[in-house]
Amino acid sequence: MAHVVILGAGTGGMPAAYEMRDLLGPKHEVTLISENPYFQFVPSNPWVGVGWRQREQIVFDIEPHTSRKRINFIAQRADRIDPERNSIDLANGSSVHYDYLIITTGPALAFDAVPGSGPHAGHQKSTHSICTVDHAEKAFAAYMNLLDSNNPDPIIIGAMPGASCFGPAYEYAMIVLSDLEKRGARSKIKEFHFITSEPYVGHLGLGGVGDSQEILTRGLGEMGVQVHTNMNTTKVDDGKMFCEHLNEKGEKIGVGTHDFGFSMMLPSFKGVDAVAKVPELCNPKGFVIVDEHQRSPKYPNIYSAGVCIAIPPVEQTPVPTGAPKTGYMIESMVTALVHNIQAEIQGKAPTAEMGTWNAICLADMGTSGAAFVALPQFKPRRVDWFGEGPWVHWSKIAFEKYFLAKMKAGVSEPFYEKLVFQMLGISRLKSDEPAHLRK
Ligand code: FAD
Ligand code: DCQ
């Protein structure tokens, strides 16, 4: 009997537990461990940050759903992984032994990289985050507080140096603008700034996708947003942001302070402590090093998927940026690794599958939205497309309901989903791609 433990029940970990359970016979055991007892649909957190969603609509308790699928669930934080003894120490003092470990712990938010930043920095006006549902609720309260004032200070939305997940920064800027218009409060906000570490608007950590630069520049411009690119934010104080402006060579060409009444800055990510501390498992930022089969070269019974893995940046930028890891890409990693673990348990080589890492994303912009498809993530791309329209807004709402329903039902990729994506020429596994596309 083999015991497969999945650490982290997020966008990657929940489907990983369900797929692993489906692939393994009843004599094997599957355990999911996560810090919180609930699942949150992370892509909806920007909506929580403007009050368009309540917590209960995007969060549910995990245990009833996993227990129906005969998956053990433990709601505890992991504090230490001992890869020599194959065990994990949990915050409540207990420990769990594994034969195979799947790490899907997502990001730790590196607020410490920019002193004074983040929702727990301690000053009255600090930069907020919409990365977790808790943070998004706090951001919403601060945003409401700003609107209560008669003469509100500027709004700043954007992304910190080293950030990789730029989509939600644009999404949040656009939905705040859309929310201000709905409330008849747009004219109250005299200054609205977008401050980003990207070298140009729409870079997205991907070197741009299709017409992303033109479309997003136009979108922000039409809404009266003042845009600042190549910005290296160095410090945040009470209602003040300190930034260095770099040129394309990475030389400092200006230093400035921006006042704000409300700010949301996407932080850079790093690996969570318990994972980052494991000797030789991770790169210096604490992201798990994996091979093309999602397996650790150092510890062959450890696999990993999602935001917590190490991937190189698509290109060097004057202010450092990273490459984003999006939902479909994460699920392609998960589907590949569960097949590899199944193969190994069956006594075969754990090199059965590779994920396609296709980057597909729906970003909401309030009433309209933007979608991109980058196949594959790294250039040169076979498909490099960025589009916009109200259909994206509605598709994202539909996708939210669909994904939450799948996670409650205990299914990762229903056959019709696979079919629809296949018709679009998109698949999770390399082995499902037409032969000429496989490397
Ligand atoms: P997560 O979903 O963050 O899951 C990690 C889990 O591990 C969490 O439950 C966490 O509590 C748990 N954990 C961490 N450390 C421990 C520990 N020590 N012990 C136990 N448990 C632990 N991608 C898209 O494709 N489309 C989008 O629209 C989109 N929107 C996004 C919006 C936001 C605000 C953000 C931040 C990201 C978005 N992404 C989007 C990117 C990506 O899809 C998400 O970040 C996704 O949730 C990442 O999945 P994950 O499984 O790697 O990590
Ligand atoms: O898992 C996903 C996810 O959540 C993390 C998203 O966030 C909302 C996504 O946008 C996935 C898989 C996606 C992508 C969903 C794309 C569905 C529509 C496909 C149409 C392709 C455009 C032509």
Q: Tens of pLDDT along 88-120?
A: 999 999 999 999 999 999 999 999 999 999 999
Q: Two tokens at 250?
A: 């990475």
Res. 438: pLDDT tops 70:
no
* Residues 66-96 pLDDT 10s: 999 999 999 999 999 999 999 999 999 999 9
Q: CA nearest 157: which of 127, 189, 124, 202? A: 127
Q: What mean pLDDT do residues 114-135 have? A: 96
* Residues 270-298 pLDDT 10s: 999 999 999 999 999 999 999 999 999 99
Residue with tokens 């309030």: 366
Res. 424: pLDDT tops 90:
no
CB distance 23 to ligand 1 below 6 Å: no
Residue with tokens 């994920």: 355
The residue nearest atom 23 of ligand 1, judged by CA position, is 326
Distance 23 CA to ligand 2 centre (A): 24
Q: Is 243 a catalytic residue?
A: no
Catalytic residue among 243, 282, 308, 361: 361
User: What is the position in ligand 1's atom list of the atom closest to the CA of 306?
Assistant: 52
Looking at all shown ligands, the one closest to residue 104's CA atom is 1
Catalytic residue among 131, 165, 243, 308: 165
- pLDDT > 90 fraction of the chain, expressed in percent and rounded: 92
Res. 2: pLDDT tops 60:
yes
* pLDDT band, residue 379 (cuts 50/70/90): confident
* Residues 143-164 pLDDT 10s: 999 999 999 999 999 999 999 9
pLDDT for residue 312: 87
User: What is the position in ligand 2's atom list of the atom closest to the CA of 328?
Assistant: 12
User: What is the position in ligand 2's atom list of the atom closest to the CA of 330?
Assistant: 1
Residue with tokens 């594994």: 98
Whole-prediction pTM value? 0.97
Distance 365 CA to ligand 2 centre (A): 15
User: Among positive and negative, which fits the CA dihedral 319, 170, 375, 297?
Assistant: positive
Q: What mean pLDDT do residues 2-18 have? A: 98
The residue nearest atom 7 of ligand 2, judged by CA position, is 43
* pLDDT band, residue 439 (cuts 50/70/90): low
Looking at all shown ligands, the one closest to residue 364's CA atom is 1
Q: Is 165 a catalytic residue?
A: yes
User: Which protein residues touch ligand 2 with a CB less than 6 Å away?
Assistant: 11, 43, 327-328, 331, 360-362, 371, 373, 395-396, 399, 403, 424
Cis link prior to 376 (omega < 30° from 0)?
yes
Beta bridge partners of 222: none
Which ipTM score applies to this complex? Answer: 0.96
The residue nearest atom 34 of ligand 1, judged by CA position, is 131
Q: CA nearest 74: which of 30, 33, 15, 18? A: 33
